[in-house]
């Protein structure tokens, strides 16, 4: 089962500086407060939000797209979709910028996630299914690669020697931003973080219209596995976690059918114009292979499930709560607690057993290993690719 989530030494040459970093565009009408409290839509009342990083397509067969007038017009016709997802991206940037200051040794992970989600809700001006959180805040530690968020009663505290993956999402009208970064305090982990960050950038660079997914995976693995990290006198080659992947994204559907491998040898399916992708990489000092383990916190309604007759009244009630509040977006137990639901574990298990809800337990490499992750959401526009979630931080 494949789970979608989830340095070369060169002679130093003076490189021409590429001018493809994030476009600043028009600045906000009003500045953000500290701590942030102004919804992003109020900061840009025109409804025109900052553009992500625009990169030209790297392959010769796409060069003509950059200046084609017909394609530029096609982009103008769907600009509303771009504004929705750019607004979600700006919320993601502002929330993570503020929360980084709170991610310090000694912080309780439960409190940190609650605070991060509170800022997300405020800045996106949460409004039912139209605007809000796209999935629970992942804060997986060390050998846990993904899908961990604290349940009620989990008192885990962040330690100096931890490697924490922060993976959270925002959405406007179902257009999802899925972006992640890794936090580590001990500089010994720097090469591990660098490996995942640069591998993600290599995947982004390779991505494009009509590019095969297997070629993106090969580019990622080549960069990832050129790094080594020394821990306690032992040197580890950083491995790409071979059964974790990036994924295509559709409205209200975080994993939309295409998987972007992070090792070579994947499928030859091609990326297509207009598609949204989460390019994410996981670098590990362990086996580079994950399995499900530990208590489950993440759940999501099966996107394709039809009507399933339910006998348990509590299960019917819980499904109603899930449909109204999350639809087909992922949720966690903390979200149900926040809505005032109690004693729902039997009902939740019943919905999982019936195949209506899919549980997503934490994904773990071997104990004692460390996993780093970086992830960006991009869109393959007709004329260029736009890395929507790019910020000054990563």
Angle between helical axes of 109-124 and 79-99 (0-180°, round to 10): 140
Backbone angles phi, psi at 182, to 5 degrees: -115, 140
CB 366 within 8 A of CB 337: no
> What six digits make up the tokens of 158?
């962040």
> What six digits make up the tokens of 394?
């990563």
Q: The tokens 């929330």 sit on which residue?
A: 95
Q: Are strands 239-240 and 228-231 parallel, antiparallel or unpaired?
A: unpaired
Q: Which residues are catalytic?
A: 167, 178, 247, 255, 280, 375
Q: How far apart are CA 365 and CA 231, in angstroms?
A: 17
Question: What is the distance between the terminal CA atoms of the chain, rounded to a whole angstrom?
Answer: 30
Q: Which of 7, 83, 78, 387 lies closest to 208, judged by CA?
A: 387
CB within 8 Å of 218: residues ≥ 6 apart: 263, 264, 265
Q: How far apart are CA 184 and CA 193, in angstroms?
A: 8
């Amino acid at each position: 089962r494949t789970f979608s989530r989830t340095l070369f030494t060169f002679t130093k040459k003076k490189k021409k500086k590429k001018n493809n970093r994030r476009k600043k565009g028009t600045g906000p009408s009003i500045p953000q407060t500290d701590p942030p409290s102004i919804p992003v839509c109020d900061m840009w009342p025109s409804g025109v939000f900052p553009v992500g990083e625009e990169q030209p397509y790297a392959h010769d067969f796409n060069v003509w797209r950059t200046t084609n007038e017909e394609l530029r017009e096609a982009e103008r016709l769907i600009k509303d979709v771009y504004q929705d997802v750019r607004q979600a991206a700006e919320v993601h940037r502002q929330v993570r910028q503020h929360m980084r200051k709170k991610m310090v040794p000694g912080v309780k992970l439960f409190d940190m996630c609650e605070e991060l989600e509170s800022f997300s809700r405020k800045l996106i001006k949460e409004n039912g299914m139209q605007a809000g959180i796209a999935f629970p805040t992942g804060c997986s530690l060390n050998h846990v690669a993904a899908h961990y968020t604290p349940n009620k009663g989990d008192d885990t505290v962040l330690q100096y020697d931890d490697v924490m993956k922060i993976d959270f999402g925002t959405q406007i009208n179902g257009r999802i931003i899925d972006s992640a970064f890794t936090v580590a305090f001990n500089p010994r982990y720097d090469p591990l973080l660098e490996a995942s960050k640069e591998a993600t950038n290599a995947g982004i660079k390779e991505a494009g219209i009509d590019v095969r997914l297997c070629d993106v995976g090969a580019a990622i693995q080549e960069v990832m596995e050129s790094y080594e990290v020394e821990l306690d006198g032992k040197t580890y080659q950083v491995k790409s976690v071979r059964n974790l992947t990036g994924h295509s994204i559709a409205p209200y559907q975080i994993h939309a059918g295409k998987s972007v491998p992070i090792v070579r040898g994947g499928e030859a399916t091609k990326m297509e114009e207009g598609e949204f992708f989460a390019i994410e990489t996981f670098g590990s000092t362990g086996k580079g292979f994950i399995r499900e383990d530990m208590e489950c916190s993440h759940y999501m309604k099966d996107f394709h499930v039809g009507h399933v007759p339910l006998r348990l009244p509590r299960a019917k009630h819980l499904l109603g709560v899930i449909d109204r509040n999350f639809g087909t977006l992922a949720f966690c137990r903390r979200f149900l607690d926040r809505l005032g639901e109690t004693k729902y574990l039997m009902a939740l298990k019943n919905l999982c057993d019936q195949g209506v809800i899919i549980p997503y337990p934490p994904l773990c490499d071997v104990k004692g290993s460390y996993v780093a992750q970086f992830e960006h959401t991009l869109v393959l526009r007709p004329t260029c690719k736009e890395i929507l979630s790019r910020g000054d931080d990563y």
